[in-house]
A = this chain, B = another copy of it.
């Protein structure tokens, strides 16, 4: 039984958070600096962007979590601290400021930045904002979630409770990102906390496996950012027997983790830049999990399909086309395809050939806010889901002049 609860990253025992406006951004009503601090050192696991151009904070964070433990997360928005000569130095100063104001060793601080690339990140506003940020630590998951937003239009925060070894455990997260991402604004950041007791190695195993079916199945624009960072910290304060190997407890933990990550994927896709609709594509009947993932991901990545969904046009040929170039093993003559939403289910293709359908009903189905694309390739038993959003005029507008 896994249930939604309030509290975000502060829902699990042993975590405090806060967010403030420190002045990296000119707009004084927008918070731009976030801090999460744990009561004790936590087993910690991270996953980072695969982009060869990596933000300086990632280099520093990798060093700090190399021993499998961390105790705090500091994040700024408004500047990615990437492609700057002094980037590493600035990221290290941010960690030192956390140590000075919270007592957590700088070596146990995870640091992240999100915003424009190639502009120096000044330390002065961070230095000025840190005392109030640290002093205000408490039940501030909300403020932290707000402080890491860039062009996000909604705050991304979630928490669940579940039972491990007879003990109630909690897992919560904050995230930002309006795409799978991009250099200058939509860098995906996600910080998860839990009070479950789990070893660093098992935490990393759970996280690395989970992203294959969560964040790696999400796309707004197929641009992989330089600063993507996903971090999970486990305080162990729930009191369960520590998870140190694969088994029943590990599987329960993984399910709870996936509740968090898949919920965040849906939030990010729905808030994709300029998006008016969430697209969720599920490919079932695949011969292998890899085939199912390749196929589902290709569908939500197709600009043509995304534009058709924006226009509520049941252009199913674009789904077949994307499946065809996805790299997944297929037999075109076996593909079944439905469009589905709160308005109903529209069957459009059976055995690779089109069905007659009502254009009026199609419009109705595709005019909803959440569009499900259900594909059965009828070759096996594997299934995967991918998330994306429609492609709209506003995506072009937001990205046509972001920097200036």
Contacts and interface: CB of A to CB of B under 8 A. Distances in A.
Interface of A: 50-54, 80, 82-85, 116-119, 182-184, 221-226, 301-304, 307-308, 310-311, 313-318, 320-325, 330, 332, 349, 352-354, 359, 391-393, 395-404
Given A324-B51, A353-B118, A354-B83, A317 B183 contact: yes
Nearest to A224: B325
Contact of A313 (B51, B80, B400): B400
Given A84-B353, A183-B321, 15 more contacts: A52-B332, A53-B330, A83-B317, A83-B349, A118-B349, A184-B304, A223-B322, A224-B325, A226-B320, A307-B398, A307-B399, A313-B400, A313-B404, A393-B396, A395-B396
A311 B183 CA distance: 16
B320 A117 contact: yes
A184 B317 contact: yes
Contacts of A224: 321, 324-325
B315 A403 contact: yes
Query: Which 10 residue pairs spanning A and B have beta carbons closest together?
Result: A311-B400, A117-B317, A53-B324, A307-B399, A183-B321, A118-B354, A51-B324, A311-B401, A224-B325, A52-B324
A55 to B, nearest CB: 11
Contacts of A325: 50-52, 223-224
Interface SS majority for chain A: loop
Nearest to A303: B221
A183 B52 contact: no
Contacts of A332: 52-54, 83
B318 A183 contact: yes
A48 to B, nearest CB: 12
- Among A54, A223, A391, which residue has the most Cβ atoms of chain B within 10 A? A223
Contact of A116 (B184, B222, B317): B317
A266 to B, nearest CB: 21
Contacts of A314: 403
Contacts of A118: 316-317, 320, 349, 353-354
B396 A392 contact: yes
B404 A182 contact: no
A318 B225 CA distance: 9
A54 B83 CA distance: 44
B401 A83 contact: no
A307 to B, nearest CB: 3
A19 to B, nearest CB: 25
A394 to B, nearest CB: 9
B401 A313 contact: yes
A363 to B, nearest CB: 9
A213 to B, nearest CB: 21
A351 to B, nearest CB: 9
Contacts of A304: 182-184, 221, 223, 399
A330 B226 CA distance: 14
A82 to B, nearest CB: 7
Nearest to A352: B83
A83 B310 contact: no
A50 to B, nearest CB: 7
A320 to B, nearest CB: 5
Contacts of A323: 52-53
Contacts of A50: 325
A85 to B, nearest CB: 6
Nearest to A186: B304
Given A183-B318, A317-B118, A318-B182, A85 B400 contact: no
